[in-house]
Structure 1
Amino acid sequence: MQKVIVIVGPTAVGKTNLSIEVAKRFNGEIISGDSMQVYRGMDIGTAKITTDEMKGIPHHLIDIKEPDETFSVAEFQKLVREKITEIAGRQAVPIIAGGTGLYIQAVLYDYQFSESASAHPQLELHDKDHLELHRQLESIDPESAKKIHPNNVRRVIRALEIYENTGKTMSEMQNEQQSTYLYDTALVGLTMDRELLYSRINKRVDIMLEEGLLNEVENLYKGGISRDSQSVKAIGYKEIYDFLDGEISFEEAIVQLKKNSRNYAKRQLTWFRNKMDVAWFDMTEEREHLKKTTDIIDFIAGKLQIKSNT
């Protein structure tokens, strides 16, 4: 069975730096597990890794889509599984690093997607208001509808997309999901004190603004990328689109951006804790990061029965 390393956790917790270190130690190549880093021209708002930060480690599934294109969990599953095979063929270890829980879950478990179904989410879903979408979900999957708040439009659409692509509800797929992975998997999760994490998220937003997030979003806006595009629904883009459309002030947009980012981090933690068998490592104490990294390396080596480069 093919060995795969997976690194998950909330935004701003330190997944990128850890993934580079793990790749160095295990001759790895990194596959982005982020559903928004696939889009070109959306670098700052998605905290996309730079060429310098990659430190020579190959990265995959970054900058493969234009901002006006759609991208689905079914397509992600197909592309990542192809990359896993490709990387393994080079005698390297595939490392999936990211925070989009459903997408990563679809790769690791036996999620079946219908070939006759659309490979992309249906655009008409984005034309409906959140209450109409939630009512649609409630009609086909009441169990998931109870768990997903109507305001969580992105997750409601994902649940509807699963049904469109598979003919099964999200609840049915989760109930049928096998308890074992399709790969020999070492699944590492990073966490930290909630207040510290929120502080890091707020600071990250400030840094994004200093690096030119407003200009990045303005380029999409002036380039004709509709606010109904899947890419612009990402946190960091939708809030500034509201400002550019004159709906809120710039200061209000930033407050909302930070709040949405913190709420997203909370949802990420909840997802991974409830849906997947994660080995958690607390990264709260910065002075212990070196030790924690060593502990993670040892865990991966033991779990996959592979040696690390010292």
Structure 2
Amino acid sequence: MALRTVISSRIPMVIILGATGTGKTKLSLELAQRFEAEIINADSMQVYKGLDIVTAKATPQEREKAPHHLLDILEPHQMFTVVDFRNRALKIIEDLIDQGKIPLIVGGTNYYIESVVYNILVEEMNDYDSLLWDQSRRKRDYPDSEHNQEVEAKRTQTDGNKDQIQATTSDKKETDERPNANKSFTIEQGLETNGKIDIITKEQLQKDVDVEYTFNNEEIHAKLKAIDPAMAGRLHPNNRRKVLRAIEVWLKTGKRHSEILEQQKQTEGQLRKPGSTVILWLKCEQNVHHERLDKRVDTMIEEGLIKELLDFHARHNKQRIEDGKPPDYTKGIFQTLGFKEFHNYLMLSEEERNSETGQKLLEQSIKCMKLATRRYARRQTKMVRGRFLEHPAREIPPIYELDTTDLTLWDELVTKKAIHIIDSYMNGTPCDYTTATVTIDEEKKKIDGNSYNYCEVCNRVMIGDNVYAIHLKSFRHMRVLKKKKQIQPSLAADNLE
């Protein structure tokens, strides 16, 4: 049964967004108590259990003030995608609205928020309790997954026996050209190999994907080009993961990935239900915000941040590193601000941490965390503007800016203002406040970021006209071009002799 995503026009879906440290938790609790609403977490790190301090979760006492959803639902090793969030969040939103309750979606992960505001994303799921990652081949996204360990072992084995691979490939070609091949699944474009066009069936393509470790990047890219030349033109051959993903979309749906994305473009800028979404954007003057974030890190230290990181490191990261696997701070909860910044300190023994050198390293780690937090907050603010107020192809829901700079005026400028905005929506009465200014750069509508470009001088493939234009003016390109111009006269002279 497909999930209904229609949101009532009588009860608003209220989004509270803003950079870290702007007061989202405080406002959400106030509004939840005022309207008997329920809070849906939209922070990609707070979905995981543990690290309550460094991820700035609502405290146990705060959670008692209102029901919270999608908080502490995953173990650290689990992978959670934006599709997983969207499917769960939309179901919760529907259930709350059916009960006459306002859903408050609160968080700083803008992609999560976009997924419930707009009709975006390709994947659909009916089992809302399962994780997309567990049901797909996306295990290749994560280098340490069992899938990739198995692939790497097979890749090593096949690298040591090239003759066996060639024989296997030859056998595949003979199988593909059988008279009884499934013609209904024949790929009309064919597969070009060494200048020869082979005919490949859907069944055979599935087999090839199952043993993709026997093919190099160019061969995998050629298979995508055979079924979906448009998508192949967007992806660099070295982007193996996305190339394989595009092939799998075709195998699963029978539709070209490029066509699905094109269809998605027609709807991704549309609101799920126009007129039923209200966005409250908490903003803080930058200098004040930076000072507040620095104090926030200091408070985390006082509350036990270092012990929390050390305990978590010992449980989930220490053995991995001792086994010779490099730390990866780009996946799951390990992306949390703090791990990467404190890595060198966490690797010290207790004796080393207590030494003068260890204490200096701790101070440096704290400074790095403060700097990283400030940078992250600026990126969040920039993304809100870029993804909502400046997006060239999206409907813009009403977005109200709430100034949290002066905390002594919080009740007047934030709480009362937010309550009035929601009340006016629910009662259909005029709102005393204007929405944020929308600024669309018309030039952005003209940018084609997916074109395939090949530089014959440098023998490089580049995706995107802007990237290609920058490359043509780059020092590297000019240097290679100059060298080739110097070589050509020399070759001509050799030919005359």
User: Could you tell me how far 1:272 is from its partner in structure 2?
Assistant: 1.0
The answer to whether structure 1 residue 201 and structure 2 residue 293 are counterparts is yes
How many residue pairs get aligned? The number is 281
What is the correspondence of 1:87-102 to structure 2 with a 5 Å cutoff? 87-102=96-111
The one-letter code sitting in structure 1 at the alignment partner of 2:303 is E
1:54 equivalent in structure 2 = 63
1:300 equivalent in structure 2 = 422
2:268 equivalent in structure 1 = 177
Give 1:263's match in structure 2, choosing from 375, 385, 388: 375
Structure 1 vs Structure 2 CA RMSD: 3.3
C-alpha separation between the residues in 1 aligned to 2:265 and 2:40? 24
The answer to whether structure 1 residue 243 and structure 2 residue 335 are counterparts is no
Q: Equivalent residue of 1:284, what SS? A: coil
Kept in 2, the 8 Å contact 1:217–1:241? The answer is no
Kept in 1, the 8 Å contact 2:120–2:267? The answer is no
C-alpha separation between the residues in 1 aligned to 2:248 and 2:62? 36
Structure showing greater relative contact order (alpha-carbon pairs closer than 8 Å, 6 or more residues apart): 1
The one-letter code sitting in structure 2 at the alignment partner of 1:286 is L
User: Could you tell me how far 1:99 is from its partner in structure 2?
Assistant: 0.6
C-alpha separation between the residues in 2 aligned to 1:165 and 1:63? 32
The one-letter code sitting in structure 2 at the alignment partner of 1:270 is K
C-alpha separation between the residues in 2 aligned to 1:296 and 1:14? 13
What is the correspondence of 1:81-230 to structure 2 with a 5 Å cutoff? 81-115=90-124, 119-120=132-133, 122=138, 124-127=140-143, 140=234, 167=257, 176-182=267-273, 184-225=276-317, 227-228=327-328, 229-230=331-332
The answer to whether structure 1 residue 17 and structure 2 residue 26 are counterparts is yes
C-alpha separation between the residues in 2 aligned to 1:296 and 1:209? 32
C-alpha separation between the residues in 2 aligned to 1:266 and 1:54? 28
Q: Equivalent residue of 1:281, what SS? A: strand
Change in Cα spacing, 1:204 to 1:140, as seen in structure 2 (3 Å) is farther
Change in Cα spacing, 1:295 to 1:206, as seen in structure 2 (3 Å) is same
Kept in 1, the 8 Å contact 2:22–2:289? The answer is yes
C-alpha separation between the residues in 1 aligned to 2:143 and 2:364? 25
2:193 equivalent in structure 1 = none
Matched residues, percent identical? Answer: 30
User: Could you tell me how far 1:176 is from its partner in structure 2?
Assistant: 4.8
Q: Which runs of 5+ in 1 are unaligned?
A: 129-138, 143-158
Deviates more, 1:38-47 or 1:295-304: 295-304
The answer to whether structure 1 residue 40 and structure 2 residue 78 are counterparts is no
C-alpha separation between the residues in 2 aligned to 1:80 and 1:165? 26
C-alpha separation between the residues in 2 aligned to 1:207 and 1:222? 23
User: Could you tell me how far 1:85 is from its partner in structure 2?
Assistant: 1.8
User: Could you tell me how far 1:127 is from its partner in structure 2?
Assistant: 4.1
Change in Cα spacing, 1:216 to 1:174, as seen in structure 2 (3 Å) is farther
1:26 equivalent in structure 2 = 35
Q: Equivalent residue of 1:92, what SS? A: coil
Deviates more, 1:216-225 or 1:93-102: 216-225
User: Could you tell me how far 1:193 is from its partner in structure 2?
Assistant: 0.7
The one-letter code sitting in structure 1 at the alignment partner of 2:51 is M
Change in Cα spacing, 1:174 to 1:44, as seen in structure 2 (3 Å) is farther
User: Could you tell me how far 1:191 is from its partner in structure 2?
Assistant: 0.3
The one-letter code sitting in structure 1 at the alignment partner of 2:87 is K
Kept in 2, the 8 Å contact 1:34–1:99? The answer is yes
User: Could you tell me how far 1:303 is from its partner in structure 2?
Assistant: 3.0
Q: Equivalent residue of 1:65, what SS? A: coil
Change in Cα spacing, 1:196 to 1:92, as seen in structure 2 (3 Å) is same
C-alpha separation between the residues in 2 aligned to 1:181 and 1:201? 34
User: Could you tell me how far 1:86 is from its partner in structure 2?
Assistant: 2.3
Q: Equivalent residue of 1:223, what SS? A: helix
C-alpha separation between the residues in 2 aligned to 1:254 and 1:124? 34
C-alpha separation between the residues in 2 aligned to 1:174 and 1:243? 46
User: Could you tell me how far 1:15 is from its partner in structure 2?
Assistant: 0.6
The one-letter code sitting in structure 2 at the alignment partner of 1:193 is E
Change in Cα spacing, 1:244 to 1:289, as seen in structure 2 (3 Å) is same
Q: Equivalent residue of 2:25, what SS? A: helix
The one-letter code sitting in structure 2 at the alignment partner of 1:119 is L
User: Could you tell me how far 1:244 is from its partner in structure 2?
Assistant: 1.7
**Structure of higher CA gyration radius:** 2
2:461 equivalent in structure 1 = none
Kept in 2, the 8 Å contact 1:221–1:241? The answer is no
What is the correspondence of 1:58-77 to structure 2 with a 5 Å cutoff? 58-77=67-86
The one-letter code sitting in structure 1 at the alignment partner of 2:119 is D
User: Could you tell me how far 1:211 is from its partner in structure 2?
Assistant: 1.0
C-alpha separation between the residues in 2 aligned to 1:164 and 1:22? 46
1:290 equivalent in structure 2 = 411
Kept in 2, the 8 Å contact 1:110–1:182? The answer is no
